[in-house]
Structure 1
Amino acid sequence: MALGGGTYLVQNKVLPGCYINFISAARATATLSDRGYAAMPLELNWGPAGAVFTVTNEEFQKDSRKIFGYEYTHDALKGLRDLFLNAQILYAYRLNGGGEKASGTFATAKYPGTRGNDLKVIIQENVDDSAKYDVSLYLDNSRLETQTVATAAELVDNDYVVWKKDATLAATAGEGLKGGTNSSVDGAAHQAFLDKVEGYPFNILGVVTDDDKIKSLYINFTKRMRDEVGAKFQLVLQGKAADYEGVINVKNEVADEGVPKSSLVYWTTGVEAACAVNRSVLNRVYDGEYEPVIDFTQAQLEAAIRAGEFSFHKVGQFIRVLNDTNSLVTLTDSKGEIFQDNQTIRVIDQIANDIATLFTEKYLGVIPNDASGRISLWADIVKHHEELAKIRAIEDFSEDDITVDQGDSKKSVVVGDKITVVNAMTQLYMAVKVA
């Protein structure tokens, strides 16, 4: 069972945990956690099925064929290449992993999916020992391995197949595995992913889909996780207004044929996940492989900003991010204009995640709720915020901005926190006097 978390209106929570509100200020041994963690459901022809699996940037570059069934440069991995231009860790899930495994006389594919149909077994008599066979496994025309054995029972399973140990070996020019299929993708497949990924720590959740109902499913999941569970991440999708600071709504489609029009979500997910807490994605050059649709007028781009749309536009020879904004458009006293900027959300999410981790690991159920204990918590939060100030994520911070008091019960503490977020420069106004 997860610890309690999310926001609070009154101090009436039952579960132990951290309940943190962020509101706009009225107008008149803590460390910073890493970023670069993304989570995405994927439609794949190969790979683990039924569970979330972790892929690092390095593993993707070195072992993409083993993990995803294709060489790093293959067109099937274009979206993931866009993602891993910036993301460091991906929590992936196969939406269509419920199909059948390809199989043949001598082996069965390790994973279900159509890519298993491209595996082939070639068996030849060993030139040095006629009692043995050279059993070779190929993917397309690339040899994956050769094992020299006397019987099938001696074959060692690998990253691609499980050998049929009771098979009778005989020379063959090549037998392809058959029957590998992908399962269909529907709302249930997406819900299964969301159920499984709920406990993983990530900065950005991305979903590449053109289905409006699926987009709504992810928006509702994100709102629940941020506001009720206390898991601070943002969702990236395309073409769906959400009016919520936790959702980044990409405006642009792609002109590429044969791919979802929402494929810019890959790059946006990676760049937002990896963006440092003291940086902005604004004006970043799109260096991915898709062809974004960017034929917008100045008026349309201005309207996109007002509508809370994350947009790409052309500047000279480059395609750049117009504004690092989220989908929030309805402003209130508690959520002002500053909440529309993703840099602000990165800062407050960093604070929420770091302080929750600090409290859970150091204080929860361990430190007495007396004056000394509260002073210790205050000092740790001050230290954390001083680190944010040092890297210019917040400014004008004073230790007096933090208060830690006993709550309504003897077991609770109430933290008062005031921060001023530093945002990247976005506009230049210059008056030049000419003599």
Structure 2
Amino acid sequence: MAGGTFKLSQPKVRPGVYANLKNGRQPTASGSARGTASIPLIGYDWGPRGKWIIISADSPDGHVAELGRSIYDETNSSMIMLQLLLLNAATVYVYIPDGGAAAKKTITVGSGSLTVTAKYKGTLGNTVKIVSVANPVDGFDVSVVINGSEVELFEGIKTMDELRGVSEYVDFSGTGDMAAFASATLEGGTDTVDGSGNSGISDFLDKSEKVRFNCMCFPSTESSLQTALLTKIKYIRESIGWKCQAVAPNFAADYEGIINLVNSFLYGDRSLTTAEACAWLAGATAGADYVTSLTYAQVTNATSVVGEMNNEASIAAIEAGQTFFSVDDEGNVILEYDINSKVHIDSETPQDIKKNRPLRVYDSFENDCLITFRPGKFDNDEDGWAVVEGLGRSMLQNYSDDGALTNVVLDEDFLVDTGRSVGDSMYLNIGLQAVDSAEKFYISIVAR
């Protein structure tokens, strides 16, 4: 008797029993978690150039040596932006564009010399002091001081060779016996090289292609850099396929991937620039899920609005695709309206795409598709189509259950186009109707 396995698309010729053994656990759709933000620290005075520093909200001060200071340093603009990002983002990818020079000092030690070079480029290195004092037991105690605070102490050092590779802040080189010496300050550190800033930002944007971030803080008002930002965000969204956004100050991009922030707020005692305030909005946008609107979201620790608008200015700003902060009836600083910079919408584009909550539904679903439907994972035949449709309808059901989609008809809203799906190309037709938040209430009252 004939037997073996079978495919629904290939009926057998001979009589027999044909059986397929399949995994009883059906594959499940993958989800793209939100909460990842990114930022370039433009002109920063310390840290590894041209590479990512990944900061987690669970341990925000886990990179003090690389940043040169605590992120809770209220005097530094870059650290304040990291604080604002981490109010709502779970993970922040930090990038310090290349440029500048490392501070350095050659110190006379007894009959020899000790060369000390800052671990990273930047002017913070010019505040580094090295001190050596006699240890009461044996050898010498060598201190590394930054900005007046001791960050490292190496005790009982007898030879300069013992200092090689031990510091997170400086590199020591020298041979011979250690000796005591007065405080020596490094010098020559610079933050950027003339003309290098734009290339450093270009490198940041290029490397962002490999990071699955949800929202980028781009704290620059320079028009050429903002144009480069728009080009890159469009490329990531439309060519790579990963849906993300960026927040930039005073940038009328007319594109759903760019949020145009036009004012700021007083954060504690500090009046933030619009560029600095972008960090709060980028972190909040990264952390917001597809059933959350940031309209009227309260800004933690903000005390007043810088550049507050009256009613007429607010209406004009919204119509121009501008995002801004306001003060609510209780005196809280809030985000007025969760929109992006998209203004002109053609007939082929969803009319609600300028609202960020519906956009997050569309973006999240597309990102989930990117993660779930991996090339080479599914057969392009009836069996494979059934699996893909099952996964897709499971995704639709999840979104519907979460309150992100409405009017879902599972058998109609996720279909493989079987007529066009041949060879290595599979075509999917998906219908989505995003749920938005009620943000404008029209009340008719009839007196009786």
Give yes or no for the alignment of 1:81 onto 2:83: yes
Q: Is 2:151 the partner of 1:139?
A: no
Query: Quick check: 1:152 aligned with 2:176?
Result: no
Larger RCO, structures 1/2 (Cα 8 Å, 6+ apart)? 1
Match of 2:69 in 1: 70
Deviation (angstroms), 1:293: 2.4
Distance 2:348 2:81 in 1: 38
Aligned to 2:12: none
Aligned equivalent of 2:10? none
Residue 292 and residue 167 in structure 1: after superposition, are their counterparts in 2 closer, same or farther (change >3 A)?
A: farther
Q: Which residue of the other structure, out of 200, 204, 211, is the alignment partner of 1:189? A: 200
Preserved contact between residue 101 and residue 181 of structure 1 (Cα < 8 Å): yes
> Does the 8 A contact of 2:132 with 2:179 survive in 1?
yes
**Distance in 2 of aligned mates of 1:379 and 1:41:** 41
Given candidates 118, 126, 131, the residue that maps to 1:122 is 131
Is 2:303–2:332's contact at 8 Å kept on the other side of the alignment?
Answer: no
Query: Is contact 2:157–2:178 with CA below 8 Å preserved after alignment?
Result: no
In the alignment, does 2:380 pair up with 1:381? no
Give yes or no for the alignment of 1:399 onto 2:406: no
**Secondary structure in 2 aligned to 1:101?**
coil
2: CA distance, partners of 1:310 / 1:125: 60
Equivalent residues of 2:380, 2:421 under 8 A apart: no
Find the partner of 1:320 among 334, 341, 346.
334
Question: Aligned partners of 2:87 and 2:284: how far apart in 1?
Answer: 8
**Following the alignment from structure 1 to structure 2, what is the Cα–Cα distance between the partners of residues 254 and 192?**
31
Aligned-pair CA distance for 1:294: 3.5
- The answer to whether the aligner puts 1:47 opposite 2:47 as a matched pair is yes
Shift of 1:165: 4.3
Deviation string, structure 1 residues 10-41 (Cα, Å, up to 9, x no partner): xxxxxxxxxxxxxxxxxxx1132211111211
Q: Does the 8 Å CA contact 1:210/1:261 hold for their aligned counterparts?
A: no
How far does residue 260 in structure 1 lie from its aligned partner after superposition? 4.8
8 Å contact kept, 1:113–1:182: yes
Within the candidate set 158, 163, 179, 1:170 is matched to 179
* Shift of residue 337, structure 1, vs aligned partner: 2.5
Aligned 8 A contact 1:254 1:262 in 2? no
Q: Is 1:347 aligned to residue 346 of structure 2?
A: no
Corresponding residue pairs, total: 400
Inter-CA distance 288–42: structure 2 relative to 1 (3 Å threshold): farther
Aligned to 2:317: 304
User: Which deviates further from its counterpart, 333-342 or 255-264?
Assistant: 255-264
Q: Cα–Cα, structure 1 residues 66 and 311, in superposed 2: closer, same or farther, change >3 Å? A: same
1:280 to 266, 286, 293: 293
User: Closer, same or farther in 2 for the Cα pair 1:217/1:158, shift >3 Å?
Assistant: same
Sort the Cα spacing of 1:274 and 1:285 in 2 relative to 1 into closer, same or farther, 3 A.
same
Larger Rg: 2
Relative to 1, partners in 2 of residues 1:376 and 1:159: Cα closer, same or farther, differing over 3 Å?
same
Whether the 8 Å CA contact 1:32–1:387 is kept in 2: the answer is no
Distance 2:206 2:376 in 1: 28
Shift of 1:171: 0.5
SS at match of 2:103: strand
Q: After TM superposition, give the deviation of residue 254 of structure 1 in Å.
A: 5.9
What residue identity is the alignment partner of 2:352?
I
Fraction of identical pairs, as percent:
27
Distance 2:370 2:429 in 1: 14
Shift of 1:65: 2.8
Q: Which residue of 2 aligns with 1:422?
A: 435
Decide which moves more: 289-298 or 343-352.
Answer: 289-298
Q: Deviations over 1:151-194 (max 9, x none)?
A: 12122422211222436522023112222111145322211211
CA positional deviation for 1:413? 1.2
SS in 1 for 2:204: helix
> TM-score when scaled to structure 1?
0.86
Contact kept? 2:99, 2:191, Cα under 8 Å: yes
Matches of 2:240 and 2:378 in 1, distance apart? 24
Letter in 1 for 2:71: Y
Deviation digits for residues 318-353 of structure 1 (CA, Å, limit 9, x no counterpart): 111111001111122221431111111111111111
After superposition, where does 1:196-215 map in structure 2 within 5 Å?
Answer: 196-215=207-226
Of 77, 90, 93, which aligns to 2:92?
A: 90
Q: Deviations over 1:381-431 (max 9, x none)?
A: 111221111211112222121101333532211111111111111012223
Alpha carbons 1:31, 1:387 under 8 Å: kept: no
- Structure 2 unaligned segments of length 5 or more: list them: 1-27, 108-113
Q: CA deviation at 1:135?
A: 1.4
Distance in 2 (alpha carbons) for counterparts of 1:351 and 1:298: 36
* One-letter amino acid matched to 2:357: Q
Consecutive aligned runs of 4 or more in structure 1 exceeding 3 Å deviation: 253-261, 288-292
Q: 1:18 is matched with which residue? A: none
- 3-state DSSP of counterpart to 2:369: helix
When the two chains are superposed, the root-mean-square deviation of aligned CA atoms in Å is: 2.1
Using the size of structure 2 for normalisation, the TM-score is: 0.84
1:13 corresponds in structure 2 to none
Letter in 1 for 2:99: G
Is the alpha carbon distance of 1:114 and 1:254 closer, same or farther for their aligned partners in structure 2, counting shifts above 3 Å? same
Deviations 1:79-132 (Å, cap 9, x if unpaired)?
22111111121222112x321111223422111111112221111111112xx1
Aligned positions of 1:229-378 closer than 5 A:
229-253=240-264, 260-287=273-300, 292-316=305-329, 317-360=331-374, 364-378=375-389
1:269 counterpart letter in structure 2: A
SS in 1 for 2:183: strand
Contact kept, 8 Å, 2:99 with 2:200, in 1: the verdict is no
